Amino acid sequence: MQNSQPSIPLLGDDFPTLHVQTTHGEMNLPEDLKGQWFVLFSHPADFTPVCTTEFFAFQKRFEKFEKLGCQLIGMSVDQVFSHIKWTQWIRENLDIEIKFPIIAANDSVASALGMLHPQKGSNTVRAVFIVDPQGKVRLVLYYPQEIGRNIDEVLRALQALQISDEQGAMPAGWPKNELIGDRVIVPPATDEATASQRLQEHDCYDWWFCHKPLQK
């Protein structure tokens, strides 16, 4: 018996090709954002308290995402006029303007991204996709409807991914790791000669755990 569940993008997969309607007009993903990072995050429904706090938090950090060359994109299965009315409410009542587009997704779009979980009702769960300039899925997070996301963690993960592509692996809690602070982990050696050399070239706890200063 074949599995009828939709395929969910996994790490390293190409982000699914989607044609969507947003509050900023029609978009083709990931084609329209080729060459830049983007964060697509879904929310269960407009005009709900937890989602409103998340959108407020994302917008407060909008410029930080922009400085990292990253486009924010919101999404739920609400219709676009609902998104527009909600962002107007946010502007008028919370004194902040939502500057990123919000997708009005149909069920097929939401299902393609694994955002519809039957046991959680008909609304989209709180999903986060970080996609790189090549259109590859680099990070996936799913939160239940009842728990709001930590937007600083999304920002931290984006920055860590960008640095790791150039410099090496990032430790737990970077840039405030309890062992090595904001330093970068050197990839483990794969042969004996390199293992011995690592101990001479880097600060190490052992040959398999070496670290180096972050290049800023």
- Single-letter amino acid, residue 59: Q
Peptide bond into 187 cis (omega under 30): no
Q: What is the Cα–Cα distance from 180 to 204, expressed in whole angstroms? A: 10
| Tokens coding 88 | 């107007």
Burial (CB < 10 A; 0-12, 13-18, 19+), residue 114, is buried
Cis-peptide into 30, omega within 30 deg: yes
How many angstroms separate the CA atoms of 126 and 216, rounded? 33
Catalytic residue among 51, 70, 204, 210: 51
At residue 210, the 3 state secondary structure works out as: strand
Tokens of residue 85, six digits:
């009315």
d(CA 22, CA 9): 21
Active site residue 204: no
The dihedral built from the CA positions of residue 147, 7, 41 and 118, taken in this order, carries a sign that is negative
Cβ atoms of 144 and 125 closer than 8 Å: yes
Distance from C-alpha of 87 to C-alpha of 81, rounded to nearest angstrom:
10
Q: Any idea which residues carry the catalytic annotation? A: 51
